[in-house]
Amino acid sequence: MDLTKVQAAAPKLLDLYKSARISLEKAGMAGRRAAVYLVLDRSGSMRGYYKDGSVQHLAERALGLSANLDDDGTVPVVFFSTEVDGIAELGLDDYEGRVNALHDGYGHMGRTNYHLAMQAVIDHYAESGATDPAFVVFQTDGGPSSRAAAEHVLCTAAKLPIFWQFVAFGDPEDKQFAFLRRLDELPVPTRRVIDNAGFFAAGRNPRSLSDSELYHQLTREFSTWLTAATDAGIIR
């Protein structure tokens, strides 16, 4: 999507679009195409991050990234806790306040199960008929209830043109994020055919991250994966 389309559809996102483009260019991904997904944690401990706008903030930045990578600028969003709580879409013409409106409509906030949300993304991507790879921004504030299931889905999905960028909200030194670091570092090729995941901690106040730093962190490992996935014949 070009700048004039973004300016017409969502002028408030124009600066985000430009910042994301700079990061993509620096990462050598100018002109690359991808379907951007957003996965959002609704476990009980996330309540404050919805209330203070941190989750909406991340969603808007995902839209800015999507507007560069995908012509329609639409981001499928999977909300999860114990199960998949809901699946919706954010668009350039319908995003302001939408995350909390959706969140409020899904009711009870449960535990944390990554694997169900991951499978929902895989299923949505397969059913969409997309030919471009998928870039998944997967936000959480803690480790999953079922770690073995999350590892299994991630390793199995390494054969698919899907990259998982895990973004942690909370204290970067918290031991609960050790599992996310483990997912990022699962060995290749003994556990998965290629490295298909990245991780970074956005901190206790995710909104304090500058747009340029957030986009740098989001795209840093994605560019490496694109090369590896192309070399392995996963992306054609």
Dist. CA 79–CA 90, nearest whole Å: 12
Q: How confident is the model at residue 3 (pLDDT cuts 50, 70, 90)?
A: confident
Closest CA to 10 of 100, 74, 54, 99: 74
- Residues 151-179 pLDDT 10s: 999 999 999 999 999 999 999 888 889 99
Strand positions, DSSP E, the chain: 35-41, 75-80, 84-90, 134-140, 162-169, 197-203
If DSSP codes are grouped into helix, strand and coil, which group holds residue 59? Answer: helix
Tokens of 184: 């990022």
Q: Is residue 207 part of a domain?
A: yes
Domain count, the chain: 1
Q: Does residue 236 have a pLDDT over 90?
A: no
Both tokens of residue 209? Answer: 């991250």
Which pLDDT band, with edges at 50, 70 and 90, does 210 fall under? very high
User: Which domain CATH number covers 182?
Assistant: 3.40.50.410
End-to-end CA distance of the chain: 22
The answer as to whether 38 is a domain residue is yes
Tokens standing for 193? Answer: 């055919």
Beta-carbon contacts of residue 18 (< 8 Å; ≥ 6 apart)? 3
Helix, strand or coil, per DSSP, at residue 169: strand
Q: What's the mean pLDDT when you consider all of the chain?
A: 95
Cα–Cα distance, 216 to 171 (Å, whole number)? 20
pLDDT tens for 26-59 read 999 988 999 999 999 999 999 999 999 999 999 9
- The DSSP 8-state label assigned to residue 91 in this structure reads B
Q: What is the pLDDT of residue 216?
A: 96
Whether 35 and 117 have beta carbons less than 8 Å apart is answered as no
Domain that holds residue 168: 3-231
Instruction: Tell me if 236 is assigned to some domain.
Output: no
Q: Is residue 155 part of a domain?
A: yes
